[in-house]
Amino acid sequence: MAKQRLQHYLRTYRRRSGFSQEEIAQLLGASSGTKVSRYESFRRCPSVITVFAYEVIFNQPARELFAGFYDGVHQEVRQRAERLAKALAERDTDPETVRKLVFLRRIVDPKTNQLDGQ
């Protein structure tokens, strides 16, 4: 069943740090801990501003805090990039398209990105 990471680890990080939901709400600029409780129980999705606030509070990158979300989005974008690359390759092969294909290849296969960076 697991195989995938949880959508987020907000509760884990909060409890490790010892803060209460009310205290985190105060740091997030929310009026009460209810919102934090809803985030932690997967009943509400935090806004971009809240995501960055969490990143600042726990000093962890958003992709680690929201690991499951990140994995899902990552996979979907890769699939879309694959489809777009296929469509572009069928259309034409002018230099602009080739540039785009190289870019898309980096999304589809991150290893290519690492090799290019070395």
Partner 1 sequence: MTMAPKTIKRVLAIDPFSRGVGFAAFEGPECLIDWGLRSTGRADNGRAVRAIERLIDRFQPDVLAMENWEAVGSRRCDRVDLLLNHIASGKRKHVRVRLISRREVSTIGTLPHSATKYGRARLIADRFPELRAFLPPVRKPWMSEDDRMSIFDATAFAIACFPVAGDSTETTADEPYPA
Long-range contacts (CB closer than 8 Å, 24 or more residues apart) made by 56-63 = 57/24, 57/27, 57/28, 58/13, 58/14, 58/17, 60/13
Residue with Cβ nearer partner 1 (64 or 97): 64
| Position among 31, 32, 48, 64 found at the interface with partner 1 (CB under 8 A) | 64
CB of 64 vs partner 1, minimal distance in Å: 6
Tell which positions 24-53 bind partner 1, by CB under 8 A.
41-42
Name every residue whose Cβ is closer than 8 Å to that of residue 101 and which is 6 or more positions away in sequence: 85, 88, 89
User: Could you tell me which stretch among 30-38, 43-51, 63-71, 77-85 binds partner 1 (CB under 8 A)?
Assistant: 63-71
Residue 111 binding partner 1, by CB under 8 A: no
